[in-house]
Amino acid sequence: MCRWLHVGGMTGERLDEILSAVRDGAQAFLKTVAERPVAAPREALRAVSFPALPDQGWGTTRALDYFRANLEPLLSGSAGPRYLGFVTGGSTPAALAGDWLAAAYDQNVSSDGDSIATGVERHTLAMLRALFGVPDSFEGAFVSGATQANVVALATARQWAYARIGIDVSEAGLTGAPPIAVLAGAPHASIDKAVSILGMGRRCIERISLVEGRAVIDPAALDAHLKARAYAAPCIVSASAGEVNTGDFDDLRAVAEVARRHGAWLHVDGAFGLFAAADPAYAHLVDGLELADSIASDAHKWLNVPYDSGFVFTRHLTDQERVFRAAGAYLGAGPDLLHRTPENSRRFRALPAWMTLMAYGREGYRELVHRCCEHARRLGEHLRASGSFELLADVHLNIVCFAPRSREVRDRDRVLEAIHAGGRAFFTPTLYAGRPAIRAAFSNWSTTADDIAIVARALDEAGAL
């Protein structure tokens, strides 16, 4: 029997009725998400007036009713098939079930000993290693997303690099320590954020020349750069497995060989591109991944679990735990997961990932990756034949980078505004090779060929304006 809630203003609420109403509301939303405007009208967002904090609480039913009537209509369709910005995956049914249960179970996945939840996280990480072909020598942890995964990985790299010159930076700090260079070709903005958070400074990033016509590191240029520079501490090389604008990949094996030759740490930012490993047709793009020292990725992208979820792997667990060890008699000093990430309190974030991996397996994710890449290829072919747009880069995986034939920012923005207002699709603006551009990212399990036809028509109409 469901308990009555007896906490302050909660007295009299029935949990079974509340959960039933939430289920019905979520089902109604998801049933219509493909028909909803993919992005909320900006004028409507600006016009919203939120209520003040009530002196006497409304109760859950009234609060839920208010939200659904007044605010839910202004949510985006990011869970749906034509939201093509930010590499948003949506949630598979299994992942949604896991996420709901994670909230209900409310486990603090910090330490072993009182719950199987930590075992589920370790098992999920093992399944991800198997999916990507990552050796068992890599230890992992779930975090809030690839940005936090990059922070964890680069903090571990920082600890490793300074230890090579006799500094335990986790104890002594950075005062008086020589700078560490992070060498990258076309890094994601989260790499910049990570080095800022870690006190290394954004200026520590040194850009390596790119292969002509592509947004990837030239391994020969990396080798020459390392030969020419004398560094006081070992460097960190940050490689991209899926560049943000084009989905292109650094040659991980060639970059790894250069990094090893010069005694540098190799970090691979594979926020979405790591999933290329799931499909034999694209797995060659991550050849050499096993040579990395650390790997970062998102689960709320191509794994299609709810926000926020990411994971990090490293082969240097001792250095990682030196950075993130939490000292406290009540915390223990064992191999607990809280010693691997910035958070002591850790949500049962692995359960949605466990559920969806078990539900669909290796073959399900192979098919998902392949289908998304086919969608990107088809849209790329449409744009290549278009009289209104130019395809700015080859479609390497699941991202399409294009622009109006005009090179003016205002024409790019006009197209985006028309698409936004039409409600049939959503794209994000970007700059590629100095040119105002648009990117479309395919990673949602529910996108179909019919959706690609809708997107193509919306682009044709916007381009003709």
Taking 70 as the threshold, does the pLDDT of residue 333 lie above it?
no
Model's pTM, two decimal places? 0.96
If you average pLDDT over every residue of the chain, what do you get? 95
Is residue 453 very low, low, confident or very high in pLDDT (cuts 50, 70, 90)? very high
Q: Over 50: is that where the pLDDT of 1 sits?
A: no
Bridge-partner residues for 389, per DSSP? 404
Instruction: State pLDDT tens for residues 126-142.
Output: 999 999 999 999 999 99
Confidence at residue 286, expressed as pLDDT on a 0 to 100 scale: 98
Residue 43 pLDDT greater than 70, yes or no:
yes
Burial of 410 (0-12, 13-18, 19+ CB in 10 A): exposed
CATH of 96-356, one of 3.40.50.720, 3.40.640.10, 1.20.120.330, 3.30.360.10: 3.40.640.10
For residue 447, is pLDDT > 50? yes
The structural domains of the chain, with segments of one domain joined by +, span 96-356
- DSSP assignment of 303-352 equals T---SS-EEEEES-HHHHHHHH----TTT-SSS-GGGGSS-SS---THHH
